[in-house]
Each structure stands twice: as C-alpha cells, then as structure tokens.
Amino acid sequence: MKKNLFFTVLLLPVLMVQTYAQSGKADKALLAKADATLQFAARQYKLMMTHVPDGVLPRTTDTKDGSLMTSNSGWWTSGFYPGTTWYLYEYTKDPAFKAEALKRMELVKKEQFNTHTHDLGFMMYCPFGNALRITKDTAYKSILLTSARSLSSRFNPTVGCIKSWDHGTWKFPVIIDNMMNLELLNWATRESGDPQFAKIARTHANTTIKNHFRPDYSSYHVVDYDPATGAVHERKTHQGAADSSAWSRGQAWGLYGYTMMYRDTKDKTYLEQARHIANYILNNPEMPADGVPYWDYDAPGIPNAPRDVSAAAVAASALLELSGYTNKADGKRYWNAAEKMLNSLCSPAYLAKEGENNDFILMHSVGSLPHKSEVDVPLTYADYYFVEALLRYKQWAK
C-alpha cells in the first residue's frame, strides 16, 4: 500500500500539468528547443565527466583564474552533479551517465550520517532519490531513511524548525533555502510509515510561513530564533542585498518548497503560499523582460546589476508544476512565465557554448554577491534545476 501511495503522489503533478498543457497551449518551438538543449547538455556533461578529477564534485568556476572549482562531499552542492547525470541518463538512456552518477554517489554516500547540515535534501535526495525513482533499486531506501533521520536530528520542537547553520554568531538560524530539504522528510514518512518525518516537515513549513514572509510575500533570508523559547531573535540576510531586500534565489526556494509541500500534503495552505510567492515574483516591477531576475529584486545598480540564472531555473521548474494545481487563468500565467524563462535560458545570452564554461550548461549565476563569492559564474545547482525544468516541460507538454 505504501508503495502505491508513493507512486500516486509522485505522478499526480505530472497528470495535472498534462491536463493543462494538452489544451494546446504548449509552445512547439520551445519543445524543439528543449530537446536541442538537453542534447547539448548531454554533450557538455560528457566533457565534464572527463575533466572532473576523481574524488571530488564540480561546483563552479573560480573567478580568479577561470579554472574549475570543485568540492568535497560535505559541501552543500555535492548532490547536484550526480543528480543531473541521473536526469541526463533518464533522457538519453546512455549508460555512461548512469556509471558517472554511481561513481560520484559513492563519494556522497557517507553524508547520510551528517547531522551538521540542513542540506541533506540537496545532498542526498537529488542523487539518491532520482536513483531510486529511475532504477527502482530499493537499496537506496535505507540510505535515504538514514539521511532523513540525520536531518530530523536538527529539529527543535520549541522553535518549530530545523536549524540551518552551526556557524557564526546566530542562536538558531533558519534560512528560506531549508524549505527545499523537506521533500526528503515527506518521502521518508511515505516510505517508512513513521509520521514523525512529515510532522517535522509540516511544522517547519508552517513556522516559516508565520515568520519568514513579509506582507507582500517576499521572504527574509535568515530568521534567527531563541532556541529556548522559540521567539524570533532577528530577521537578517546573508546573501541578499539588505536585511529588508528580496534575494531572488530565496524567493525561488520558497516558491519551489511550498509547491512541493502542496504536492506532498494536499494542504491548500501551502498552495496559497506558493501562489502568493509566484505572484510576488511575476508582478515584481524589477523583473526583467526576459524573466531572468537580478540577483536581488532590490539590488543596487538595477538595471546593471548581475542576473542570477539559478533563481530563474529553480523558479521555472516550480512554476511548471504550480501551473497544474491552480485555476485555468493562473495556470496559464504560471505556465507562460515558465516558458518565457526557459526560452531565455535556452538562448545564447545564458546558454554556454559547447566545450566552454568549464563544461557547465548555464552561465551568469550568482552565489553570494555580498561575500564576493561565485559572482557571474556557472553553478552546479543552476544546471540541475534547468535540466529538471526542461524534462518537466517535455513530459508535461505532450
């Protein structure tokens, strides 16, 4: 029964989005462009497979000398490269991608026991969740369940959230990014039957609605809590332009996270939150005409501020899914907005040339501009969510 429920939940957004797309609104030119871009992505990652040293994961480009920057398995982005190779294996059926995914997953596997990070959803669910979904190999279940237990250990019931960071002078920091890691917990409840995982996810999501969002549904990046009382200590930014600004990737994380929470729970509170965040993004007067946002919606220097392609990739993937959960008018708006973003990302303005860009697919992302880190470079997670969005578009637009 649990297995049937798992696959029902997994397939539901596909069926709903297809219902909308099959009404004849899919862009045939974009479908062709998506195929061409996925084929390019496969060729590009074939090159990357030969260039990334053994024992590490690709991360970005070094802004000092243009060389490939890699990470160890403990870095928060370690799961995206094997996750992307699983997506490319799913698309191409080329066993080289499966072999590469398995090879790099061996590096990441030990992170299932890591209780010092909130990023286990990114690190473990992106590669191992996709591996389970695509291969149906049940050996991945125990790894994911251990990962969910490790993530759950960071939950404080007084605060009602999972702690994000152990560094800095924060008391109990929670970042909007953490919404993305709740998918692992929802999966763990479906698989194990233990309701505690999903209860933690819902409590975290509810607390985040209460404390992370402003009246216009823009999000603070960091909310620091008093771990003894659960009271909000302060609301700050770490990667945004200012404490009061709307960091664009943070808005995308929230959009994706609450869309996912609605998919997994059918609680309309999460659907409404996702819709509000989507409307904030799409109605923002500082959203560029091509749908690829500046690194912060309140960034100084607009219109000459750097764009963040990763924010567009995450948002496009989320908007495609959200379009299937809403009324026809909103569904059309979200779908069309995702199409605009994907058309832009598939263009020469953002898509790398073959053999360049350290073999990453997309250019012009921003990691943390305030820290002068990863500014106007490719990022492994931008590629992951871009490939995911292209695959979703192809699947749901048929």
For 267, residues 6+ apart whose C-beta sits below 8 A from its C-beta are 202, 261
Q: What angle do CA 109, 114, 116 make, to 5 degrees?
A: 150
Q: What angle do CA 57, 61, 65 make, to 5 degrees?
A: 125
Determine contact, residues 255/315, Cβ cutoff 8 Å: yes
Query: Would you state the torsion angle of the CA atoms of residues 188, 15, 396, 327, taken in this order, to the nearest 10 degrees?
Result: -110
Q: What angle do CA 34, 36, 40 make, to 5 degrees?
A: 110
**Catalytic machinery residues:** 119, 177
Amino acid at 206: N
Q: Which two tokens stand for residue 94?
A: 């080329």
Q: How many CB atoms lie within 10 A of CB 32?
A: 10
Q: Which two tokens stand for residue 357?
A: 């860009």
Q: Which residues of 194-216 are buried (b: 16+ CB within 10 A; e: fewer)?
A: eeebbebbbbbbbbbbebbbeee
Surface-to-core class of residue 102, CB atoms within 10 Å of its CB (0-12 exposed, 13-18 middle, 19+ buried): middle
Q: What's the farthest any 2 CA atoms get from each other in the chain?
A: 56
Could you tell me where the DSSP H helices lie in the chain? 2-21, 28-51, 80-92, 95-108, 120, 130-135, 139-152, 182-192, 195-212, 248-265, 268-283, 309-322, 328-345, 380-396
For 51, residues 6+ apart whose C-beta sits below 8 A from its C-beta are 68, 358, 359
> How large is the angle between the packed helices 139-152 and 195-212, nearest 10 degrees?
50
User: How far lies 279's CA from each of 17, 205, 298, in Å?
Assistant: 19, 19, 16
Phi, psi dihedral angles at 266 (to 5 degrees): 60, 20
